[in-house]
Structures are given as C-alpha cells and as structure tokens.
Amino acid sequence: MTDRRTFLRFALPSVLAFALSGVYTIVDGYFVGNSLGDPGLAAINLAYPIPAFIQAAGTGIGLSGAIRYSILIGQKRQSSAMANSQPEERRCFTCTLLLLLLASLLLTAGVLAALPSLLRLLGANGSLYGLAAEYTQAIAWGTIFQLLATGLVPFIRNLGGSSYAMFTMIAGFLTNIALDYVFVWVWHWGIAGAAWATVVGQTVTAVAAAGYLIWKKIGFSLPCFKSFLQNAGVVLKVAVAPFGLTFSPQITTILMNRALMEHSGEQAVAVYGCIAYIIAIPYLLLQGVGDGSQPLISQAFGAGDKQGVKQVRRFAYFSGGTVALLCMACMFLLRDRFGVLFGASSAANAEVALRLPLFLSTLLLLAYVRITTSFLYATERAGLSYLLVYAEPAALFVLLLFLPCLPFLGGLGVWFGVPAAQLLTWCAALVVKRQADRPAS
C-alpha cells in the first residue's frame, strides 16, 4: 500500500513541473503581447494549437511508453521468474524512442507542407495570418526537440526521478524566459523570436532528460521488426488518451476561436487568448497531480495490488480538488489583472475580468475528470479513457452549433460553451468511473 508521504514524493515534483509548464505557455504571450499588442496575442493564440499538437504527441507517446515500462517493472517484482527473463522493459523504452523520432520526422514535414491550409483552418487571415505563419514555421523546425523533451520526461518520473524531471523543466523554462527577452525585446525578432526561444528551451530540457536516462543506464534493446510493431501497437493504443488529455484544451481553443471570430471579431479572440493562457495553469496543475500519481498506480496495477491502486487514486482526488479550489479563489481575486499582464487593451482587459469566472466555475468538476482519466490510462483502460478525453471537445462542438443562436443569450452563447461542455463531461466521468470500478470490486 502507498502511504501519503510516498504519494507526495511523486506528485509534488510533478505538480511543480506542470506549474512551470503552465507559466511556459504564457511566457510567449507575455513578451509578444507587450511587443505587438492585441494582434500579436490573437495571432499566437490562433497558431498555438499547432505547437501544442506537437508537444501533445510527444507527451502521449512518451507517457504511454512510461506507463507500459512501469507495469512491466511491477510484474517483475511480482514474479521472480520474470525477473530473470529478457529485459522486456528495455525493448519498450527503445520502441518508444523510435516512435518519438519517427513522429518528429512526420510532423516536421507535415506541418511545413500543410502550413497555409492549417492556419486557414484555424481561422488565421489577413495580417494575423502572416504573424501566425512566422511563429509556426520556427516551431516546426524544432519539432524533434519538443517531442524528445515531452516524451523522455515521463520515463524520468517512472524511474523515481520526479525531482530531476522538475529541474529539467526549470532549466528549459529559464532558458525560454531569457531568450524571449533577448529575441523579442532586445533583437526585435518579433513573434518568430518567441518561437525560437521556445524551441531552444525545449532543447535544454531534452538534453538534460537524455543525460539522466543515460546515467541511469536505462539501456536499449533493438527489437526485430515484428516485435517493434507489437510494442508500437501497445504504446500507441494507450498514447491516444494522454495525447488527447494534453491536446483537448487546444481543440477547445480552435472551436472557440472560430466561433468568436464569426460572432464577435478579433478582439474577442484576443480576450479568449488571455483567458486560455491563464486557465492553462490550473489545467496543467491538475494534469501534474494525475501524471504524478501514474507511476504508483501503474506499478501497483502491474503487481496486482488493487487496494494500492484505489489508495493512490483517493490521494489524487483529494489533491486535485484542493488544487482546483485554490486556483479558483486566487484567479477570481486577480481576474482584473490578467489582461494587463499580456499587454491587452483596457477594453480587452475589462472583458477578460468579466468572462474568466465562467471558466473558473467548473474547475472542481474538471479536477474529477482529469484524475479519473489519468487513472484509466495508467491502468491501460484505453477505451474508457478515450471516452472522457474526447467528450469535452465533442460536446463543445455540438453546443457551439446552437448556443450562439439562442436569442436570450445573444453574444454570450459562445462563452457559455466551455462550462456547459465540462459539466456534461463530469456527468460522463461519474458513469465511467463506476463502470471501471465494477470489475475490480
């Protein structure tokens, strides 16, 4: 059984690391917004789903491989006979690394080739298109470093190096801040400078993560082609869930940006850009709680310790709820300062303060959904985890078809879409958790 101290030893560094990720996402917005104003904020908000997709792909593949790695370790501890067998976990790590490299090649080529179509699809046009293209091209050339940074860190946590994982992210974060200042404000590279600062920051994280894994002698075991396909199938099957959990806020951003451009215009997109940056922090903190508990859940699951799995999950629910409540209180009190932080106009800042409480109102429900989803993919319940991961964007898509058309809501219909979708997803999570617990009881 896992005690609270062990849980905190894994969860706290993960939460702090994801807190830095949350700040990481707003750093570019801060420097660009204060350099280019509302157009810069709107452009980077429109383009951001593309780098977010790249990072989510690395997180999905890396975390799925790390989950499988932890389960194999748990199985070895349970069976002494398996402990003397061929190191299957090394083949798992090697397969995951090869998938990350292959994905980096495909994504780099794909983004650069389809860039005009992608940006048009995301709603970029006019002057915003040129700014968004500058940002995305730089990000695309650094795809491999972003994938390795996000894909290798989960293995560090699963090897017991949660604190080191946090320090690798701190190193990348500090690099990003320093280079944002130099590239955007000193050298005046504009929005492209912010992108290159992000790429170099992720490179620092990737190099530090690789150094740790080499020091730990995680080892390589090149599989034959058939074995690679088998391992890749297992990893990719689970990867869809953590990928979706990481990227689903960007699907929400895409849907909201298009709806706001259609019904309210460019300033509304800039307003939502500020909200999206700020609300990303509690989203990532909650993901930190879930991913911090994942190694303990996966190892207990691999060892057949059902009570241990439930104990860790209880700790995660309590921690996630506490984080959500604290974020709701702090962000509500500071709601009239966030637009100013990003250099938004006074009108945009006032609207940020007005709309942000809608997004804060469902954070407690979102905490329950995120922890439940992490539990599901940590125990390789892929189908149920898919349901929760993609329920929110699917519900939002449907809601945005008719909410803006309701006469009693007027222009507010778009803004009510996200809270309503999250409420529906929470209802689904209650049913899914009951279904997941039924075979285990």
Upper half-sphere CA count for residue 74 (Cβ side, 13 Å): 24
Predicted confidence band of residue 1 (pLDDT cuts 50, 70, 90): low
Look at residue 237 in the predicted model and tell me its pLDDT. 87
| CA trace torsion 121, 270, 132, 116 (10° rounding) | 10
pLDDT, one tens digit per residue, over 154-211 is 899 888 888 898 889 889 888 988 998 999 888 988 888 988 998 999 999 999 999 9
Mean pLDDT score of the chain:
85
Portion of the chain with pLDDT greater than 70, in percent: 94
Distance CA 129, CA 42 (A): 10
pLDDT of residue 82 exceeding 80, the answer is no
Helices 225-263 and 382-402: angle between axes, nearest 10 degrees: 20
Predicted confidence band of residue 395 (pLDDT cuts 50, 70, 90): very high
- What are the residue ranges spanned by the domains of the chain? 4-440
CB of 388 closer than 8 Å to CB of 372: yes
CA dist 306 → 40, 51, 95, 180 (Å): 50, 38, 28, 47
Upper half-sphere CA count for residue 285 (Cβ side, 13 Å): 22
Predicted confidence band of residue 83 (pLDDT cuts 50, 70, 90): very low
pLDDT, one tens digit per residue, over 354-374 is 999 999 999 999 999 999 998
Least confident among 213-217, 225-229, 331-335:
225-229
pLDDT, one tens digit per residue, over 26-51 is 677 778 777 777 777 778 877 888 98
Look at residue 324 in the predicted model and tell me its pLDDT. 96
- Counting every residue written for the chain, the total comes to 441
Predicted confidence band of residue 81 (pLDDT cuts 50, 70, 90): very low
